[in-house]
Structure 1
């Protein structure tokens, strides 16, 4: 596994997952502090990698995308994350499918894109890809929400299911939640959409599908959705508002969740041109781990591990997860609930 701080095509990427496979990144915050005069600052880039799961991550203040995939990145899931306040004049939530080399499998699930000008998200893929955008909340975009380019052989196949597009103070008076872009199109996209919800105050309008995009709609997903438990968009809104981002939440993430406002009601938000201040976090004692296997001694038995024995990568049965993987999955839920082992 390689996790590094590379430059992607000259970019000042803070965290890169590059040339690797089988990676989980969870509960971290990536907040660049560079001015918007420094171009091409990404928060996190997944490049030439497969089987990558980014979960409960908080990224803000990039001068390019907060998160993006690049080149041969496939079997990638970005989930439960907050991607907020990309810096103007190049404020972007996420670019999925930057210079792909072949068909890809990408899932964008239960994320919050908040106060980013456009690319909410941006997609551009080969035919035979499996791209799914499910149960996300897109709030306070200015000019563009979901953008679909189709510049690779076969055209972009993509599914949008039960997402919530909500206008905020920065949103233009008329916007389109899902829109195909004509630039350098080599084939028609196949766009499936179902259960998506738009909300705007009386002075603004979000049209779910742009009129010039309706001809590309298909009646079923271009490939079977891997997300089987899809919540209604209103339920997804609540889930994203209460459970997205790194936990424990810092004051920035909590403030952005508050800015969303209740589902179906006016929210608050703003576009920014400079990074904000990183808040301090309270510290506490680490959990006790005398056998140094990364797991809290007090709960090892819960995962069939043995206190006093360094057995992080042992398994209870040949087809099961390693003890450490089970512990980390459990620990993530404990962090969200505000509980910590001792």
Structure 2
């Protein structure tokens, strides 16, 4: 997924795998990307030696990649996500002075060469790094990289507030290898051991338990992890798995359970069983989702999303 020149977006409970290059990317091309959150999601198994023209290219997330000039990028939050089995960019961070990048309560597991990387190539960078869990795995090089590495290559400034992160040494897991959380350049860039955040920070060990249950395409009571997500999660628990070159190395694309497949006859994104009992929408008409629901005053698609989120009681929606 790439988000370009965009504002005020929230992505939650996504499962992303098998990418070549970035699994998740926030980009600016002469514009502005700000107030963007990726939360409770699973990013795993990006392909390394696959089809990228530069060769090995298994990448996690790139925050504020740039193109052109006069761009702004910041106020980005990565919250409670699971990163597993990427060569590097766990995540790769740039920014401008528009606002901080927050990396809070994520689990980072089994890179080959690098965990987090911070660059000043876009402008002044302010990073909040709190309550994260950083763990090497079977693919990680013997000289385990630090959790955060700083690359200060221009006159722009890099400031880091970091606290509450852990890099546990697990018995039986790659011989308990671990490293420092901050490399020397990151230690020099440290300005605080706490900071005002846009999101709540919970203790790292509590975050680990939450992420391993809730990250990815799962919603309590509605949808469970598919077989691929389960394989990734189990590999983190067991300290197994590896960075891959082909989807076939992990059994290919998962088959979704029938219960996860929602009938949508007109392909408009709204389930048939929702449209069939409401006024003003029809499960056989694909372009009625933007018509206004008479009970809420919102387009039907917004009414449906707000109902799912619990912002509007289901009884409020106009019924036939």
TM-score, normalising length from structure 2? 0.75
Match of 2:286 in 1: none
1:58 Cα deviation (Å)?
1.0
- How much is the aligned-residue C-alpha RMSD, in angstroms? 2.9
1:211 to 2:190 alignment: no
3-state SS in 1 of match to 2:198: coil
Aligned to 1:22: none
* Structure 1 contact 199–206 (Cα < 8 Å) conserved: no
Q: Which range moves more in the overlay, 212-221 or 55-64?
A: 212-221
* Unaligned ranges ≥5, structure 1: 1-43, 301-306, 332-342
1:86 to 46, 52, 70: 46
Alignment partner of 1:225 is 2:223: no
In the alignment, the residues of structure 2 paired with residue 297 and residue 176 of structure 1 have an alpha-carbon distance, to the nearest angstrom, of 50
Q: Which residue of 2 aligns with 1:244?
A: 215
**Aligned to 1:205, what secondary structure does the other structure show?**
coil
Partners of 1:132 and 1:160 within 8 A in 2:
yes
Q: Which residue of 87, 96, 102 corresponds with 1:132? A: 102
SS at match of 2:180: strand
- Work out whether residues 120 and 138 of structure 1, in 8 Å CA contact, stay in contact via their aligned partners in 2: yes
1:27 alignment partner in structure 2: none
Counterpart contact for 2:89–2:115, Cα < 8 Å = yes
- Distance in 2 (CA, whole Å) between partners of 1:55 and 1:142 is 26
Q: 5+ residue gaps in structure 2?
A: 49-55, 219-223, 282-291, 312-320
Q: Does 1:172 align with 2:141?
A: yes
Distance in 1 (CA, whole Å) between partners of 2:130 and 2:147 is 12
Shift of 1:108: 0.5
Give the SS at the match of 2:160. strand
**Alpha-carbon distance in structure 1 between the residues aligned to 2:177 and 2:60:** 21
* Equivalent in 325, 335, 340 of residue 305 of structure 2: 325
Alpha-carbon distance, 1:79 to partner = 0.9
**1:317–1:308 distance in 2 versus 1, CA, 3 Å:** closer
SS of corresponding position for 1:212? helix
Hey, what's the Cα distance between the residues in 1 that align with 2:133 and 2:295?
40
Q: CA deviation at 1:217?
A: 0.2
- Residue pair 1:134, 1:161 contacting (<8 A) in 2 also: yes
- The equivalent residue for 1:57 is 14
Q: Is the contact made by 1:314 and 1:323 (CA closer than 8 Å) also made in structure 2?
A: no
TM-fit CA distance, 1:316: 6.2
Contact preservation (8 Å) 2:151, 2:185? no
Instruction: Give the 3-state SS of the residue equivalent to 1:227 in structure 2.
Output: coil
Measure, in 2, the Cα distance between the counterparts of 1:258 and 1:103: 35
Partner of 2:36: 76
Query: What are the equivalent positions in structure 2 for 1:102-141 lying under 5 Å apart?
Result: 102-141=72-111
Structure 1 residues 143 and 274, CA gap change in structure 2 (3 angstroms)? same
Q: State the TM-score, normalized to the length of structure 1.
A: 0.71
Q: What are the residue-to-residue correspondences of 1:32-47 with 2, within 5 Å?
A: 44-47=1-4
Q: Deviations over 1:49-101 (max 9, x none)?
A: 11111111111111101110110321111111111111111111000110171
**Higher gyration radius (CA):** 2
Aligned partner of 2:233 among 257, 262, 268: 257
SS in 1 for 2:77: strand
Once the two structures are superposed, residues 273-320 of structure 1 have per-residue CA deviations (whole angstroms, 9 ceiling, x without a partner) of 11231121222485799xx9947878x9xxxxxx543497567699xx
Q: Aligned equivalents of 1:294 and 1:243: distance in 2? A: 24
